[in-house]
Each structure stands twice: as C-alpha cells, then as structure tokens.
Structure 1
C-alpha cells in the first residue's frame, strides 16, 4: 500500500526534475526577457511546478493497463462514473462504523478523501502565487483541471484504452476543488517570499551591469538556437521529402544547405549584418554592441572581423563538420575538433578581457553595454550608463 502512495511522488521528482532541466534555458530566456533579470525564487517556483505537474499526472492517470486491453477491461474496467455527490461521506461512515478514532483515520476511505484534498493544495498555491491569478480564477482552474482528469479517466484517455480504467468520481471533483481553494487561500502566506511577476516586470527596463553570466548565457542561447534550428530544419525537410516520395532523403548538398548552412545563416550571419550586429543570444540578454568612438554601429569590415572571431566562426566550423560526416570528406574531418576548440577559447576569453568582450572584442574593438542604457538613437542615456573601456 505504501508503494501505491509513494511511487507517483518518486516519478514526479525524477521526471519532473528532468523536465525542468530540459526546459531550463527556455525558462531563463523567458525570465530575462520578461523581467529583465533572472529571479532565483521564481526559478524555484518553475521547478516546483514541473515536479508537481508530473506527480499530479502520475497520481491521477498512472499506471496504465497493458497487455490484452480487452481482457483487462472485462476484469477491471469501470462501467460509468460515480455521480452521486458526497457518496464519500456515506462510504466513510460505513467503513469506519465501530472503529476506534485511530483506526478510523487510517482507513483507506478516509485517507483517500484527505489525499484528494491535499493533492490539489499545491495547485492553488502555485496558480495563485506563481502564476498570479486571483482567488476565483485559481479555484476555477482547480475545478477545470480536476474535471479534465475525471473525463480522461472516464473515457480511457479519450479512447486510447477501451474502457474507464479508473473510477471517475464526482466526489474527487469536489475534494480536488476544495483542495485548490485551500491552496489559493494560504498562497499569500506560504509563498510570500516569492516576488510577483508584475513586480519584477515593472523593473524590466532597468539597465544592469555586463556580467560574466550574461555573456555565457548569451553564448548558450546561440548554441541552442543553432542546434535546435538545425534539428527542426532536418526534421521538416525529411518529413516533407518522405510525404512526397515515400522514402527518407539521402545525404546531399541540398540537405546540408537546407539544414546546417541555413541554421548558420539564420542564427549567426543575419544578426551580424542587421541592427547593431549583436548575436541572437546577446540580444536575448539585453547586450548591445557600441563602437568605441561613440558611433551608432560598427563598420561592415569591423562586423566581419567580429563575426570571424566569434560565434559565426564556431557555427561555420560546425556546419563544415556536419558536411564531413554527411559526405565522408576527410579534409573537413578536423572541423568538429576545431569547433570545440574555438568554443572553449570564446568562453574562456571572456574571463580575461575588459567588459567581457571576449576574443571578438580583440579582433574588432567595440564596447558591450546594456541595451536598456541606450537612447533610441543608440547613444548613452545618462552619464552613469557610459560603458567601461
């Protein structure tokens, strides 16, 4: 019995943590763009949301039946739902009649009712405080989530399983909603240490120092953008080719140009030649490139030198390394190793250069400033915002 109650919690911790880690960079990007800074407290809230959401699914929908589903449903499936409100009260009275208080509170019917309430208390807490919804909206969301769970159980995950594999119970709907309301009521006290999204967003436009983590995070965004876009392009191209021809595409120059090269152009080349020349990652973390002479933007030749000593060089080497793998070109085989070396140099060079400019700052002198410190025409907004040289 203990395992029945605890294994979904273990699933929630393990899979929920993995889900949070997988989504960490997108979560950080959202925070930086929405609040202008990373909030550790709300980052912890996002982790709690991932773990709780996974555990909620495990508790309410798992385990799924397996094997011969028709035979399983004939033996264990439910015929319809329990639609009599407060039937749980009658069940508790019947099962605990004549028992001592200690034995009564340990009875499965009592534990099940209490657990249904407790299960949705975190829902109310997170929705009201982390998402910033009002009391009524939080209660309505708990009702809606519980209703969705009960309908999913009743329909066998909307027909995936040919029977109602868990009992859909109106009392579960009532107790879950009650738990959500309780959570929403106590949320302002339980999570008073967590800043609200609106409070943080109010300071979104405040300039902040150019720190090492911002440079490294911007690089991570560039890397993930290139990798993700290349994967999406490859999947899209492969799926389209399969739908037209009925077979997977063979490695070819067109495939390489449409995946690795196109991803390099979109992520590294286009940002370099547009605006002030900041990379996608730098723009994400509010970093702006300013010429040392106070001009509006770098000259084209300076941009080229900057790109060839920065992320654009790494992306080009990655694309050439992909070509070596696809076409078995021995002359291009060192490209992957060179890409790794260049990435290491670019990351470490930010430790030893003024203003965290890195290697590209040596190749083409420029200043990195917080984009929010610049006036619309690209000039410093105030004396205190002048970048360090």
Structure 2
C-alpha cells in the first residue's frame, strides 16, 4: 500500500469508528442544541469525525519504530525544520526550469503545495457552515491546528523520538492556512444547503410531538449512558484491583460499580427530581406528567377534536404538553424508573453474576426480551408512554411550553 494511501485509509477507518462510538452522544447533544433531530447536521458530524481522524492519520502516521529511526548524533530536533517562508517558490523555479506549463503543474513540488492547500479546505468549510464560525476564526483555528501538526512533526512527537521522523515546514503551515481561509470563503457557496446552528435557535423552544422515534431515541441514549458508565467504572476498578492492589476483582463490588451505580445515575437519580425524566428523556426534551399531553388541532375548546382520545393512534394527536400538567408523585416516578430501567439493570447484573453458571444465559435473554417489549410498547400506547408509563400511570410530555 502506498505511503499516502495507508494513512488516508486508516484515517477514514478511525473516523468511521469514532463516529460510531460517539453516535448516540452526538445525537443527544444535537437534540438538546437544536430541539429536534436533524439528519443533515448528523451527516455533518460524521464528516467532522472522518475528516479529523483522516487529517491526523495523514499528517502523523505511520509512527516509526524508534529502533528503525536513524538519528544523526549531536543534531538538534529543530535543525531539520524548513523555516524560510515561500521557499516553495524557489523550489518550483528550480524544479520547473525548462518545463512547459502543463509539466510544471504536474511536478511534485507544485502538487505538494496544492495538496497542502486542499488538505485544509474542509477545515474552513466545516468551521464556517457546521460550527458557524466566521472567516477569521476559521482561518486562525486552521493556522493553529497546522502549527500543532508541524510542531509535532518537527519535534519528533515532542521528544518521544530522538529526532524528527518528518520534516517540519513553514511553507506547509502557510499552505494549510491558505486552504482554511479559502474553504471558509467558499463555504456559503459550496454548502449553501447545509442548515446552520442559528437557523434552529427560534424553533428550539417550540414543543414537538411525542413520537415513537423520539421515545426510542431517548431509550437508546439511556442504554448507551448506562453501559458506558458501567464500562468505565469496571475498567478503572479492574486496573486498580489487578495492577495496583493486586487483590483481584471482587464480584460483588464489580456488580455495584458496573450495574448498580450506573443504574442509579441514569434511571433513579433523575426520577427523584421534579421532571422525573431519565437522562435520555431529558436529552430529547421530555418530562413525566400525571396528565396526558394535549391534542393538537384547531377545534373548539372541549370538542372531541381537542380532547385526548385514549384510543387514538395518530401520532399527531400526541404532541404538546398540557399547560396544566401536574407533577407525578415521587413514588410513581420511582415505580416508572423500575418498570423497565431498574428491571433491566437487575437482569444485566444477574447475567454477569451467573456468566459461568448454567443459568447465566437466562437473565441475559430476559433482559433482551424486556427491551423488545419496551420498544414495541411505545407503538402500542397511543400517548407513546410505553410499558413503564402504563404500569405507573404516568405520561411523557414535551417540557417546552
């Protein structure tokens, strides 16, 4: 595989992996920022992940083995840095002497400059349209990023290597900055269709229907946070127990750290607060209420059109919170947290405790079945309150009103 193909390939691969790992947190943050799910913004987040990883991979990878790196004794790290601005002009004049225009444009020294400009074009595009920065900020951040990359190369990853494994070049810094500036200037014309953050500011506070996809997204966010917190706590505990204390992992403490604490943080602690909503439900602007959401319609007050119809299945009839929705007592909030979230935590802990036992697969299968029932129950309940809401007599409403 070519010298430039391998870093580019790995950069795209790492970018896709990073986006997949952080997909749910990205969607959660997006929903909080914009008040709704926006596919184009999600696509922009994927582009940022892939471009960022590809940029780092191409400029810094592959890292050589220290034993393969031949360093000249007595030569400082900075002696290999090209510090003369616009040195590429002299290089082009020398390399292209006697060549025609087309041959000059195809020469390595010209293509290198062009590529360094093109490399940072996406930076300007992303900074201007995805992040909403102005031209100056997009250009300055592009300059600082390029400066970091060139410094990393010139110092052998800040002294990790005895000498630089790539040449630091001030002309690369200038070309990268020019690319960021050009990308920022072209962004409004190239990405004219891409929605900007400020476009969602006015609509962010408007109530929206409590739809099944919105409920599923909240549930998926809860599951992601639960397992992520448990994974981090278990890894930290395992490292300390195995390599610091040398005591080995104690299963009861591992179950507390991996399941009980994350379950309390994600499901029960939020239920003790006034909104009663879990972390995932808060991310999608939902709260718990003892009264059903008001119907959407222009019918007269008190008419059948504006009253909540318990048999309705049209999701447009499950949209806004009632202006006078009342708080759910803490006991019912805790019951609702236990109905699916708490039971899932218990089954997952039992599955881990019995992982090496004959019965260990049963709790795991039951936890999967519970999730399936919970997801399907959202569709089966007209108000989209699902299994836990039905069991506790609580409803989910949009908290923006």
Residues 300-315 of structure 1 correspond to what in structure 2 (within 5 A)? Answer: 300-315=330-345
What is the aligned residue count? 367
1:48-70 per-residue CA deviation (whole Å, 9 max, x = no partner) reads 11111122112211222226144
**1:151 positional shift:** 0.5
Identify unmatched segments of 5+ residues in structure 2.
293-323
In structure 1, the residue matched to 2:21 is 22
TM-score (norm 1): 0.87
Is 1:372 aligned to 2:400, yes or no?
A: yes
In structure 2, the residue matched to 1:255 is 254
Work out the CA distance in 2 between the residues paired with 1:26 and 1:238. Answer: 25
Work out the CA distance in 2 between the residues paired with 1:272 and 1:304. Answer: 6
Is 1:236 aligned to 2:264, yes or no?
A: no
- Kindly tell me: are residues 32 and 73 of structure 1, through their superposed partners in 2, closer, same or farther at Cα, counting changes over 3 Å? same
Is contact 1:260-1:322 (8 Å) kept? no
In structure 1, the residue matched to 2:71 is 73
Query: Quick check: 221-230 or 264-273, which moved more?
Result: 264-273
In structure 2, the residue matched to 1:382 is none
Computed over aligned residues only, the root mean square deviation of the Cα atoms, in angstroms, reads 2.4
- Kindly tell me: are residues 65 and 301 of structure 1, through their superposed partners in 2, closer, same or farther at Cα, counting changes over 3 Å? closer
1:156-207 per-residue CA deviation (whole Å, 9 max, x = no partner) reads 1111222111111111111111111111111111112122212213322111
For the residue of structure 2 that corresponds to 1:369, the secondary structure is strand
**1:100 positional shift:** 2.1
In structure 1, the residue matched to 2:37 is 38
Work out the CA distance in 2 between the residues paired with 1:144 and 1:299. Answer: 53
Work out the CA distance in 1 between the residues paired with 2:283 and 2:24. Answer: 11
In structure 2, the residue matched to 1:273 is 272
Of Structure 1 and Structure 2, the greater helix share is in: 1
1:181-239 per-residue CA deviation (whole Å, 9 max, x = no partner) reads 11111111111212221221332211100111111111111111111111122233334
Query: Quick check: 29-38 or 194-203, which moved more?
Result: 194-203
Work out the CA distance in 1 between the residues paired with 2:288 and 2:128. Answer: 40
**1:365 positional shift:** 2.3
Identify unmatched segments of 5+ residues in structure 1.
374-389
Work out the CA distance in 1 between the residues paired with 2:221 and 2:375. Answer: 13
Is contact 1:69-1:161 (8 Å) kept? no
TM-score (norm 2): 0.84
Is contact 1:73-1:165 (8 Å) kept? no
